[in-house]
Amino acid sequence: MTAIAFRPRLLAGWATDASRDDLAAHLARHGPLPRLTPDALIARVDAAGLRGRGGGGFPTAAKLRAVAAGRRRRPVVVANGCEGEPASHKDAALLDCAPHLVLDGIALVAHALGATTAILAVHVGAADRVREEVAARRDRVPVRVEEVPGRYVASEETAVVQYLSGGPALPTTSPPRPGERGIRGAPTLVDNVETLAQLALIARYGPAWFRETGTPDLPGTLLVTTGGAVQAPGVVEVPAGTPVRAVLDLAGGPTELVQAVLSGGYGGAWLGAPAIDTALSHTALREAGSVLGVPTLLALPARACGLTQTAHLVRYLSGESAGQCGPCRFGLPAVADDLTAIACATRDAPAAADRLARRLGLVTARGACALPDGAARLTRSALHVFAADLRDHLRGRPCGGAAAAPLFPVVHG
Amino acid sequence: MTRRLRVDPIACAGHGLCADLLPDHIDLDEWGYPILDDGRRTAPLDPDEIRAARAAIAACPTLALRLDLESGGRV
């Protein structure tokens, strides 16, 4: 194992003395916010190569420029910290440990875009503590803190925008993207809270500093949530490009023999044991058949049945469907049923496997949001990574962990 | 200018009339929802197909179909 010589950036306070940075501590650690012209800020973010930390990995500078260029109306800034992915806790951890980095990021982009409305969207129950920190500041653009219902699809950016416009917290059809027409029709920049916190560091310390860690394609650090069979599950900050195995070691290491790791959340994809040294980056994980997404790593013990555990997760995702799009509403329960038949090694399992192959195509890229695509990706990866188990299940010989209870949380929000 | 037929998956309620009117471009899945010919939510059209596409758009009970310019603008 390679030791990681690296000091946390976002979670510096937490790493030093397990404390939350209030405004005084934040200013003592990072100094005051620099005054930057809009062009200077965007140029720094561009040179730093910052990519969105909400899952998509889109270049942040390009998104800023698009909203800045298209403005016929005053843009609105939304910091998205409501994290509907059950496997991820990084946004909550960041808002808890370093709320002022996020608020700095909001102030910087609001100034750069000439926005007069800024909203910080958080989990239900998380607003009060953040509001105390907001009240301690004297931001030129006041930040409104709003709680968004804790449901899987509610944190998707079009759902957040619809909710903050007075509607339900459910995805809408795009285009138009929020950057073109967002809250009450105004062009809306929706950035993940970690993206904004990284941006606040780039504004202070510059792009060269930012690139001192991470990879050329994905510079900087990542907040990663670990879970499953590790000693100390939780949120860790690591350089982008850190191997999966090293992140699990930072989380105290495996509690028992691990056969696979789920990367990218419940809508992500399994990495088999041979892929355990894959680097945490969009490119490397894609090449390994998985995704970075919202960085989460869930370790699956060798004693578990990967097909059964995947069936539980797909059943959960199916229950989280908003039911707005037909292929998701009808397709995900059908996919979950097929997978369950395979997991239980019923007589119908071989027929279910044939149906599943067809149905995975039918639920992909046909919904308003990425929920059905994620469920299909997870299922495909399970059929691939657990191929040996699949053969046994289809012959009526389920593995030892078949029919076991869910190992990962599947409680509806 | 190439036009692209697009289905709004939230507005679509699976009535299926579009598949009758534009059988070359639209199939229905096992639940009755339209599959456009790129397997997703959009299909490129030739100029001589625009008239039939407009008929399908007008026939949709939930107004879930629309015609976009290839570049993404709305027609």
Tokens of A188: 């809306």
User: How far is it, in rounded angstroms, from Cα A286 to Cα A275?
Assistant: 12
Distance separating alpha carbons of residues A176 and A182, to the nearest angstrom: 8
Contact at CB, B9 and A361, closer than 8 angstroms: no
Which residues are registered as beta bridge partners of B67?
B5
CA A282 – CA B8 distance, rounded (Å): 29
A-chain CB neighbours of B11 within 8 Å are 173
A 10 A CB-CB count for A144 gives: 15
The domains located in chain B, with CATH, are 3-69 (3.30.70.20)
Q: Are B40 and A202 spatial neighbours (Cβ–Cβ below 8 Å)?
A: no
Residue A233, pLDDT > 70, answer: yes
What mean pLDDT is reported for chain A? 95
- Cross-chain residue pair A326–B40, CB shorter than 8 Å: no
How much is the average pLDDT of A265-271?
98
* A372-382 pLDDT per residue, tens: 999 999 999 99
CB A399 within 8 A of CB A343: no
Contacts of A56 (CB under 8 A, 6+ apart): none
Closest Cα in chain B, distance from residue A101 (Å)? 37
Q: How far apart are CA A177 and CA A123, in angstroms?
A: 23
Q: Which chain B residues contact residue A367 at CB under 8 A?
A: 9
Assign domain A221-301 one CATH number from 2.40.50.100, 3.10.20.600, 3.40.50.300, 3.30.559.10.
3.10.20.600
Smallest Cβ–Cβ distance between B31 and the set A330, A365, A367 belongs to: A330
Q: Which CATH code fits A12-210?
A: 3.40.50.11540
CATH fold of A306-394, please? de novo design (two linked rop proteins) (1.20.1440)
**Which is more confidently placed, A136 or B72?**
A136
pLDDT one-digit tens code per residue, A154-181: 999 999 999 999 999 999 998 889 999 9
A327: nearest CB among B8, B11, B29: B29
ipTM: 0.91
User: Which chain B residues are within 8 Å of A364, Cβ to Cβ?
Assistant: 40
Phi, psi torsion values for A82, nearest 5 degrees = -100, -10
Domain definitions of chain A by residue range: 12-210, 221-301, 306-394
> What tokens does A42 get?
């965007």
Question: How many C-beta neighbours within 10 Å does residue A372 have?
Answer: 28
Confidence band for A412, pLDDT divided at 50, 70 and 90 = low
Flag whether pLDDT at B30 surpasses 80: yes
pTM for this prediction = 0.95
Per cent of chain B over pLDDT 90 is: 75
